[in-house]
Structure 1
Amino acid sequence: MIRIEVIMAENDITKVSEGLKKTGVGGLTVFKVKGRGKTIPAGIHASKGTKIFTPEFGDKYVVVAVLPDSGMDGAIKIIRENSKIGKIFVTPVTHAIDLATGVEDEQAI
């Protein structure tokens, strides 16, 4: 099993979610976060428009999915097709347990 974590802009979440749903990815977890990368966030007019404030951190979203190893390439393809800004991180998951049913590993996802 793998965990795919994607940092992306808000306007890409719906397209990515719908695409992953079509490929059979069951659940997604979405977090609203603040962060910065190499790109400086856009300036905001402050003080009645006379000054421009540049925030240190911009709004981002993190989307997390756990899926079988066999779904990795398809999921990454969907994410890359529907989001042009952000990062994808893939990490191994060694064990998963559904607390409600007691089902483990791939059956739990």
Structure 2
Amino acid sequence: MKKVEAIIRGNDFDRVKSALRQVGIVPLTAYPVQGRGVQGGVPPYDLLPKMKLEIVVKDKDVEKVVDVILKNARSGTPGDGKIFVTPVEDAIRIRTGERGNEALY
């Protein structure tokens, strides 16, 4: 299992969410955040509004999720965001006690 975290522009969120749903990835957590990268034109201590998505997926679905985010959040200009992929040791569905991949979707 892997956790895909993406920090994207807020105006790309609905498009990314819809595209993920179309490829069968429905479970996700999203929340508004503020941050900045190294893009120019923004004063060094100003934070920009973004959306952060967190999606835990089976290993076989990682590239599909990354591709969907790239295709739907990339404008080619500074500030498009970042994607981070990290390993997840375990997942437990609280309601049923299912563990691992069975607890995901």
Band the TM-score falls in, shorter-chain normalisation: 0.7 to 0.9
Provide closer, same or farther for how the CA distance between residues 98 and 41 of structure 1 changes in structure 2, counting only shifts above 3 A.
farther
Q: How high is the sequence identity, in percent, across the aligned residues?
A: 32
2:77 maps to what in 1? Answer: none
> Over aligned residues, Cα RMSD in angstroms?
1.7
| Other-structure match for 1:76 | 66
| Aligned twin of 1:102 | 97
| Stretches of structure 2 lacking an aligned partner (at least 5 in a row) | 75-79
Structure 1 residue 23, shift from structure 2 partner = 1.4
Task: Encode CA deviations 1:1-35: one digit per residue, 9 max, x unaligned.
Answer: 11000000001111111111111113110011111
Q: Which runs of 4+ in 1 moved over 3 A?
A: 40-43
Which of 87, 93, 101 in structure 1 is aligned with 2:82?
87
Give the Cα–Cα distance (whole angstroms) in 1 for the partners of residues 101 and 13 of structure 2. Answer: 25
Q: Please give the TM-score of this superposition, normalised by the length of structure 2.
A: 0.86
2:37: which partner in 1? 37
Bigger radius of gyration: 1
Q: Which has the higher strand share?
A: 1
Corresponding pairs, count: 99
Counterpart Cα distance in 2 of 1:25 and 1:104: 18
1:67 is matched with 57
8 Å Cα contact 1:4/1:65 also seen in 2: yes
